[in-house]
Amino acid sequence: MSWQSLEITAGEHVAESISDALMALGALSVSIEDADAETAAETPIFGEPGGTAPGMWHHNVVSALFEEHADIDRIMTSLTQTTGLRNLGYTVQAVAEQDWVRATQAQFEPIRIRDDLWIVPSWHRAPNPDALNIVLDPGLAFGTGSHPTTHLCLAWLADNLQAGESVLDYGCGSGILAIAAKLLGAGDTVGVDIDPQAITASRANAKNNHADARFFLPDEMPRAAADVVVANILSNPLKVLAPMLAAYCKRGGHIALSGILREQAEEISDIYGAWFDMAPPQTLDSWVLLSGRKK
């Protein structure tokens, strides 16, 4: 059996109504994604303690999956009538039947961070059994180790974390940085994320790796400062969160920030320079990691 994938471009005020209408019109599944993802125009949506809930991106792609013989023209006509929205831009692609489990697994191979540090999907054999091998399966949360920003943070932890230091991983996603920190010898280790699914995934991944890290939503997180703060998110939330992340880092402690494009690095470094003596940036592809010691 094959399917049809309908993708509709939508602004922030109509994406959810289009999504709801498509489900009512028989879509098997619907997702909303940032149309500008992985570009300089990428827009973060986030919520923090005491703040509002996450919002919607300015430019969205609403993707809906329909059965092979669904009448897309009729569906688009009904969508217009239901929502009152006209001249919606859309594309349709055929989705062939395949073994989705094998297709997904084929995308993820063991990832070398250093010779002695690897990220290994559970269905693979570790290339170096003597290395520190973090077992991590792709889930709903960001952070499989394949993105350059995650790679940069893992390498920084391996090079800089001292045994027994406490760690805060803010925006923990899959929990990969907190888990790595704990396996590298960290003391009390806490991960925080606004997404409940990320907390669920992080706890499961920590259990699979026998890593005693704790994970919380922002309003539930412990308020103690840490020796090391890592935040692999995006530049805009890093700007907003700067005073809070600085407050959660002990005097003399370290901070490591990523999710930053090269052209954004100077501005972020200047902002955090109010609290930290910043080190030269580390780069991988078009991404940057910034680090510093608390003054």
Helices (H), 58-193: 72-83, 100-106, 148-160, 176-183
Q: Are residues 76 and 199 in the same domain?
A: no
Tell me the per-residue pLDDT of 200-227, one tens digit each, with 9 for 90 and over.
Answer: 989 999 999 999 999 999 999 998 999 9
Q: What's the domain count of the chain?
A: 2
Which residues does 262 contact at the CB level (< 8 Å), separation at least 6?
283, 286, 287, 288
With a pLDDT cut of 70, the percent of the chain lying above it is 87
Asked which of 101-105, 128-132, 160-164, 194-198 is least confident by mean pLDDT, the reply is 101-105
Which residues does 211 contact at the CB level (< 8 Å), separation at least 6?
178, 179, 182, 183, 189
Question: Residue 258 burial (CB < 10 Å; 0-12/13-18/19+)?
Answer: buried
Which residues does 280 contact at the CB level (< 8 Å), separation at least 6?
none
At 260, the pLDDT band (50, 70, 90 cuts) reads: very high
Q: Are residues 84 and 164 in the same domain?
A: no
> Does residue 51 lie in a domain region?
yes
Q: Are residues 168 and 285 in the same domain?
A: yes
Q: Are residues 10 and 92 in the same domain?
A: yes
Q: How far apart are CA 178 and CA 169, in angstroms?
A: 6
DSSP 168-237: EEES-TTSHHHHHHHHTT-SSEEEE-S-HHHHHHHHHHHHHTT---EEE-GGGS----EEEEEEES-HHH
> Does residue 19 lie in a domain region?
yes
Output DSSP code: residue 93.
Answer: E
Q: Kindly tell me if the per-residue pLDDT of 155 is higher than 90.
A: yes
Structural domain including 193 reads 159-294
In the prediction, which pLDDT does 138 show?
Answer: 54
- Sign of the Cα torsion 61, 65, 66, 67 reads positive
In the prediction, which pLDDT does 198 show?
Answer: 87
Q: Which of 65, 97, 129 lies at the terminal end of a domain, its last residue?
A: 97
Give the domain CATH number at 32.
Answer: 3.30.70.120
Give the domain CATH number at 268.
Answer: 3.40.50.150
Q: How far apart are CA 143 and CA 178, in angstroms?
A: 11
Radius of gyration of the chain (CA): 21
> Does residue 140 lie in a domain region?
no
In the prediction, which pLDDT does 3 show?
Answer: 86
Q: Are residues 82 and 164 in the same domain?
A: no
Q: Which of 47, 81, 97 lies at the terminal end of a domain, its last residue?
A: 97
Q: Kindly tell me if the per-residue pLDDT of 132 is higher than 80.
A: yes
At 195, the pLDDT band (50, 70, 90 cuts) reads: confident
> Does residue 120 lie in a domain region?
no
> Does residue 269 lie in a domain region?
yes
Which residues does 24 contact at the CB level (< 8 Å), separation at least 6?
82
| Number of CB atoms found within 10 A of residue 38's CB | 9
Per the structure block, which two tokens stand in for 76? 């688009």
Bridge partners of 231? 170, 257
Q: Are residues 288 and 164 in the same domain?
A: yes
Q: Are residues 164 and 85 in the same domain?
A: no
Tell me the per-residue pLDDT of 43-78, one tens digit each, with 9 for 90 and over.
Answer: 655 544 444 444 568 889 999 999 989 999 999 999
- Among residues 252, 256, 241, the alpha carbon closest in space to that of 295 is found at 252
> Does residue 57 lie in a domain region?
yes
> Does residue 170 lie in a domain region?
yes
Q: Which of 97, 130, 146 lies at the terminal end of a domain, its last residue?
A: 97
In the prediction, which pLDDT does 268 show?
Answer: 96
Helices (H), 107-186: 148-160, 176-183
> Does residue 126 lie in a domain region?
no
Tell me the per-residue pLDDT of 161-177, one tens digit each, with 9 for 90 and over.
Answer: 999 999 999 999 889 99
